[in-house]
């Protein structure tokens, strides 16, 4: 009987991918979660035990799931983050966890820029109003000369910085471990977090969630931003306090926001999604043909390498 590998990312359970054939060619049987749906803990408890490998998406993988996953040797995420995995339990149980750093960076960075321009010119608002038979116009801004603040300047942040500099923006970046060799322009500077928060016209998040479980962007943070700032989150939902952001949008402290990540996916009854000052997309940052191809190929490579040891 062949060993099994569980595949759970929604894009792969829906449409598959040619790279998965490499796992089958290596003698592994593929087990899929419910097509197109993020698996629940109950489904993981049902399908994961007995699998030696797990090609995982963004679903929560807690200690209970890992403890029940008898025989599991490696989790290979088709993304960069591990905040959805109980890493302490994985280490305790000897389960290797692999990621695909940089695989979807281009897709996420381009979406961040699409969000920036959509907010600057109120494109979704205008489109919705016109299609509804109205003729409502909301005055936009030109991004030339404006300051973009990046919180996180890794694979994605560096690409966003280059794009913004190409549009004649000034870029301030905060990173816990800044790369001093990254100096793309005299208009780019690494600065303390407080300077990014206080001096930026647009702030874009490109960092992991805080290990404390607390949001990075909360009421006090929002109050210290420039009035009329735009906020973009294509990183992690846990970074932003949604109630505080909703209040800041209502007061005008934040002029508009763009969101691609949610505490619950799909979100239900989310006030931010319903706001005409929020551009909301359904977690599509890395959902391009090119990003998916890179991530799946790397995730399969990681599985085959780990399982061969």
Domain that includes residue 158, residue range? 105-280
Active-site residue 43, yes or no? no
Residues 111 and 62 in one domain: no
What is the distance, to the nearest Å, from the Cα of residue 116 to the centroid of all Cα atoms in its chain? 16
Residues 96 and 124 in one domain: no
| Residues of the chain below pLDDT 70 | 1
pLDDT of residue 81: 80
CA distances from 279 to 116, 140, 227 (A): 10, 14, 19
pLDDT of residue 146: 98
Task: State how beta strands 147-151 and 74-77 pair.
Answer: unpaired
The tokens of 222 are what? Answer: 């929002």
pLDDT of residue 2: 75
Residues 95 and 110 in one domain: no
Decide if 240 contacts 262 (C-beta within 8 A). Answer: no
Beta strands across the sheet bearing 96-98: 29-32, 4-7, 51-56, 74-77, 96-98
Residues 135 and 244 in one domain: yes
Note the pLDDT tens digit of each residue in 52-81. 999 999 899 999 999 999 899 999 999 888
Residues 181 and 274 in one domain: yes
Catalytic residue among 73, 77, 283, 294: 283
pLDDT of residue 160: 98
Active-site residue 17, yes or no? no
Catalytic residue among 43, 67, 265, 297: 265
pLDDT of residue 80: 83
Query: Could you give the CA distance from residue 116 to residue 139 in angstroms, rounded to a whole number?
Result: 15
Residues 146 and 83 in one domain: no
Three-state DSSP class for 149? Answer: strand
Residues 112 and 208 in one domain: yes
Active-site residue 236, yes or no? yes
* CA nearest to 98, candidates 309, 300, 235: 300
Residues 142 and 254 in one domain: yes
pLDDT of residue 87: 95
Residues 118 and 257 in one domain: yes
Q: Which residues pair with 256 in a beta bridge?
A: 230
pLDDT of residue 265: 86
Residues 145 and 269 in one domain: yes
Catalytic residue among 17, 158, 170, 236: 236
Domain count along the chain? 2
pLDDT of residue 123: 98
Residues 56 and 113 in one domain: no
The tokens of 115 are what? Answer: 């969000």
pLDDT of residue 186: 98
The CATH number of the domain holding residue 28 is 3.40.50.720
pTM of the model: 0.89
pLDDT of residue 117: 98
Residues 30 and 116 in one domain: no
């Amino acid at each position: 009987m062949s060993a099994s590998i569980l595949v759970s990312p929604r894009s792969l359970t829906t449409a598959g991918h040619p790279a998965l054939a490499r796992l089958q060619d290596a003698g592994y049987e593929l087990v899929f979660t419910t097509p197109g749906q993020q698996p629940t803990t109950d489904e993981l408890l049902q399908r994961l035990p007995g699998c030696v490998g797990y090609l995982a998406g963004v679903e929560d993988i807690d200690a209970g799931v890992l403890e029940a996953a008898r025989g599991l040797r490696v989790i290979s995420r088709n993304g960069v983050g591990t905040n959805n995995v109980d890493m302490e339990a994985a280490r305790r149980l000897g389960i290797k966890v692999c990621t695909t750093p940089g695989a979807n960076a281009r897709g996420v960075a381009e979406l961040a820029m699409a969000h920036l321009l959509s907010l600057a010119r109120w494109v979704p608002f205008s489109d919705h109003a016109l299609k509804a038979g109205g003729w409502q116009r909301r005055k936009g801004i030109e991004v030339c000369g404006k300051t973009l603040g990046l919180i996180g300047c890794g694979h994605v942040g560096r690409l966003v910085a280059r794009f913004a500099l190409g549009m004649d923006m000034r870029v301030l970046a905060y990173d816990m471990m800044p790369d001093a060799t990254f100096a793309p322009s005299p208009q780019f500077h690494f600065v303390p977090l407080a300077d990014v928060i206080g001096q930026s016209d647009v702030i874009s998040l490109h960092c992991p969630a805080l290990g404390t479980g607390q949001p990075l962007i909360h009421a006090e943070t929002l109050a210290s931003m420039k009035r009329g700032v735009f906020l973009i989150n294509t990183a992690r939902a846990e970074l932003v306090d949604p109630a505080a952001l909703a209040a800041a949008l209502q007061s005008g402290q934040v002029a508009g926001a763009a969101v691609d990540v949610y505490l619950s996916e799909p979100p239900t009854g989310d006030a931010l999604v319903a706001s005409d000052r929020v551009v909301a997309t359904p977690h599509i940052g890395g959902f391009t043909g090119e990003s998916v191809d890179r991530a799946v190929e790397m995730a399969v490579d990681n599985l085959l390498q780990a399982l061969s040891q």
